[in-house]
Amino acid sequence: MRPCTIALLAGLGLSIAQLSAAAAAHPKKTPPPVVQPKEEPQVPSLSPMIKRVAPAVVYVTVSGTVPAPVPVNPLFEEPGTRPFRGAGSGVIVDAVNGYIITNAHVVEGATDIIVTLADDRQVPAQVKARDERSDIALLQVKSANLVQIPLGDSSRLEVGDYVVAIGNPFGLQHTVTSGIVSALGRSGINPDNFEDFIQTDASINMGNSGGALVNLRGELVGINTAIVSRTGDNTGIGFAIPVNMVRTVYEQLLRFGAVKRGLLGVNIYTMTPDDADNLGVSGVHGAVVSQVIEGSTAESAGIKTGDVITSVNTQPVKSAAELRNAIGLLRAGDQVEISLLREGKPRKLTATITEASETQAADNAPIHRGLAGTELVDGEGGVLVKSVEETSLAAQAGLRPNDVIVAVNRAHVSKVKELRDQTKDARALWLDVRRGARALLIVVR
């Protein structure tokens, strides 16, 4: 050791021996082992599926003109038009040809349509065809590098299945919400429409119309179309058109430019449990034939009043709405196998569907917007209410199954046809109703 080092240690009052002894008494501590972090479990996420599907959902903006309100004083003011702007969503179903499905009401009256893609490209679109009664429209854009969505099978959906809504609520592009299938087979939401809605609690707001409802595999199972709300905002009750109905309408719009609806030629209502008991077929669901139109396909096929139709082409029919949808979405000339019960015994018949004329379509349309979702038949001394959808305007006003409507807007009615004539163009319905021994006045606005 060099002298300077010895002098320094001595100056501190410690000898080499003392330092060695101190080191022995206080050995150097070993640092604690490093704790390796445990591998985090994989957290479930919808992100991978959304990344695949979202580019197929587009933002649709529309503009055009509509008739202006009636002038306060027509002597000094002339009615004209006023511009409007609107927005909704759409789903690319054919990337090669640029075909997009949206709601018919989104593009109603539009003269200019702009589609904004997921990568913010904006391209003009044209309406190829639209069908108001299913609320489906087919648009086309000319653009490269589009992404289309795979179509699922809505018949496999069950209440409780998880679903995701993708759209553009309030102009907030590519908003994703999730929920479950709350119910299936809903109808009576919109007048004059063919309806078999999927109900969901996935948040749907204004601007979601025409957007995608997808399952967890990223398949399109519905087109979002409507909500139940007093304010226009989400209340947890949204509706989507099942993709199987969308597919049928899309194919007809593509091929014919319109939907050529089939006609069977029957008046029907949904069989109630009491009806089933009276017919000796407890537990059976179907549509009861209350009238067979003379000279119709139904008459030629051998369908009779009182028959209970239970399936069409092996697909179960549980209500009048389901039968109406099944027949209405078939093409004229199609042969259809109908299973029914007659006096409790099963039968199978074959019918060739005819095309409904405009007059026949009008005759089979819902009577009035205020009575959409009700099933009405000729009764004793009035029009019998066979059933009422819980979400319909009529149900909210207080109309109930087994009520008998004896007058509307102070005019007596005894048949459905008379009720149809009296309610035409009426803005409100004042219904005189007989409920058992009670007389009620129900106002539907």
Please return the burial class of 415, using the count of CB atoms within 10 Å of its CB with bins 0-12, 13-18 and 19+.
middle
Which pLDDT band, with edges at 50, 70 and 90, does 71 fall under? low
Distance of CA 410 to the CA centre of its chain: 37
| Catalytic status, residue 134 | no
Element (H, E) at 330: none
> Residue 411 in contact with residue 429, Cβ under 8 Å?
no
pLDDT in tens, 285-295: 898 887 788 78
Residues of the chain with CATH 2.40.10.120: 49-65+81-256
Instruction: Give the per-residue pLDDT at 344.
Output: 84
pLDDT in tens, 382-404: 999 988 877 778 888 899 999 99
Measuring CA to CA, which residue among 94, 69, 95 is closest to residue 80? Answer: 69
Higher-scoring residue by pLDDT: 411, 5: 411
pLDDT at 188 over 90: no
* 428 phi/psi in degrees, rounded to 5: -145, 150
Higher-scoring residue by pLDDT: 401, 329: 401
Measuring CA to CA, which residue among 151, 319, 167, 163 is closest to residue 249? Answer: 151
User: What mean pLDDT comes out for the span 72-85?
Assistant: 64
> Residue 107 in contact with residue 89, Cβ under 8 Å?
no
Instruction: Give the per-residue pLDDT at 7.
Output: 39
Domain 262-361 is classified in which CATH homologous superfamily?
A: PDZ domain (2.30.42.10)
| Catalytic status, residue 274 | no
Catalytic residue among 89, 131, 135, 432: 135
Architecture per CATH, domain 366-444, reads as Roll (2.30)
Q: Which of 98-107, 301-310, 325-334, 338-347 has the highest mean pLDDT?
A: 98-107
| Catalytic status, residue 209 | yes
Which pLDDT band, with edges at 50, 70 and 90, does 367 fall under? low
Q: How many CB atoms lie within 10 A of CB 58?
A: 31
Residues of the chain with CATH 2.30.42.10: 262-361, 366-444
Q: Are strands 315-316 and 238-242 parallel, antiparallel or unpaired?
A: unpaired
Please return the burial class of 309, using the count of CB atoms within 10 Å of its CB with bins 0-12, 13-18 and 19+.
buried
CATH top class, domain 49-65+81-256: mainly beta
Instruction: Give the per-residue pLDDT at 148.
Output: 96
CA–CA gap between residue 248 and residue 55 (Å, rounded): 24
Higher-scoring residue by pLDDT: 32, 11: 32
CA distances from 259 to 250, 262, 357 (A): 9, 9, 12
Least confident segment among 110-119, 197-206, 240-249, 318-327: 318-327
CA–CA gap between residue 197 and residue 193 (Å, rounded): 11
Which pLDDT band, with edges at 50, 70 and 90, does 381 fall under? confident
Catalytic residue among 209, 319, 339, 392: 209
Classified as helix, coil or strand, 432 is: strand
Which pLDDT band, with edges at 50, 70 and 90, does 32 fall under? low
Instruction: Give the per-residue pLDDT at 4.
Output: 43
User: What mean pLDDT comes out for the span 79-87?
Assistant: 81
What pairs with residue 273 in β-bridges? none
Instruction: Give the per-residue pLDDT at 363.
Output: 44
pLDDT at 87 over 60: yes
CA–CA gap between residue 439 and residue 399 (Å, rounded): 12
